[in-house]
Amino acid sequence: MPRTPIAARGNCGSFPLFPTLLRSFPFEPKLTMNHLQAMRVFLKVAENGSFGRAAASLDLSNAVVTRYVALLETHLNTRLVNRTTRSLSLTEAGLAYAEGCRQTLEQLDAMESSISQSATHPAGTLKLVAVASFSLFGLTPLLQRYRAQHPKVKLSVTLLHRPVDLIEEGFDVGIVVPGQVSSGTLITRSLFRVRAIAVASHGYIGANGMPVTPASLSEHTFLAPSANLHNSDWSFVAEDGHVETVTLEPAYSVNNAVMLRQAALADMGITILPENHVAADLSEGTLVRVLASYQIKGADKEVSLVYPGRRHVSAKTRSFVDFTVDYFRSESVPPFPAIFQNT
């Protein structure tokens, strides 16, 4: 049936649920699509004071309009309309019901309009979870630019060390590393890869010498991420492709990359960190590469954007996903000195 919406006022957040409005009326509010359509038809009859004019404005036949009103009266067990051959008037119950229909349908239309707009226009609060060490130096420029384009979207950001169930914990989107997300059905979009390198301070190397092979690392003080983040076996790939695996027992371990960097800067030993994290230190000479001709197998981190694979993705989530993917693909994005691994 054609639907004639009543102009919505305000947004749905300010309205109580529409069945509440009906509780003051002497019937049980069993709302169905046909029931709502019957309410719209009855209200149009009340507004026009005529079955014929109501039928014409709704592009329905007189018989259909009459049938809708009769069904409502049967449902309510109450006469709503006084009919004569020349005129139509509402009963006392009809007047009360018409006003109730008006309020209910205005509220319903406002609610539908608000929800429909949220599906097509980014708005509301976006709940974002990110790896704890993806610091504000790397995350804030992205969020600032996104908000500049989508000012109606509010951002609620949570930084976590632990694995997260995106759906169970109510997040819209995550910027994560492998193993951090435990949710099942998710869409994954790769953002960037962070290469891991071994580093130490000039002070430490000056006092203890520079390792020349992976095996010689066992003679040095090793600073490691916590065991739940990486085991004690580290594999190094030489330029000729030869792989050498060494077991390194840490003298110091911590679950935070910032602390590992600080320990290395304090001359405490050799550690392995994401290259972007120590880029400024290497440039300034406060840290130096160790075993620079080797690649560290399996230590690189793929940072990805994930979001629930629902059929209907909200406009705020879709806009953030598209913006973030484009942002990291752009050559104009500056290098981030503090994009860390999951530590």
pLDDT, residue 342, reads 36
Given this model, what pLDDT does residue 87 score? 79
How far apart CA 25 and CA 39 sit, in angstroms, is 14
For residue 180, the model assigns a pLDDT of 77
Per-run averaged pLDDT (10 residues), the chain, 343 residues:
35 37 41 77 90 89 91 91 84 93 85 66 91 68 93 92 84 86 79 90 96 95 82 91 94 88 96 88 95 90 84 85 90 47 36
Contact in structure between 138 and 258 (CB atoms under 8 Å): no
Closest among 2, 7, 13 to 111, alpha carbons compared: 13
Among 88, 70, 67, which residue's Cα sits nearest to residue 79?
Answer: 70
- pLDDT at residue 331, as a whole number: 52
Beta strands in 169-242 (DSSP E): 173-176, 186-194, 196-201, 222-225, 233-237
pLDDT of residue 35: 84
| Residue ranges of domains in the chain, CATH in brackets | 12-119 (1.10.10.10), 124-194+301-329 (3.40.190.10), 196-297 (3.40.190.290)
Contacts (Cβ under 8 Å, ≥6 apart) of 48 = 54, 57
What pLDDT, on the 0 to 100 scale, is given for residue 14? 36
Q: What is the pLDDT of residue 264?
A: 97
Cβ proximity of 119 and 314 under 8 Å: yes
Strand partners, 222: 270
Positive or negative torsion for Cα 333, 335, 337, 340: positive
The answer to whether residues 1 and 68 touch, using CB atoms and an 8 Å cutoff, is: no
Q: Is 77 exposed, middle or buried (0-12, 13-18, 19+ CB in 10 A)?
A: exposed
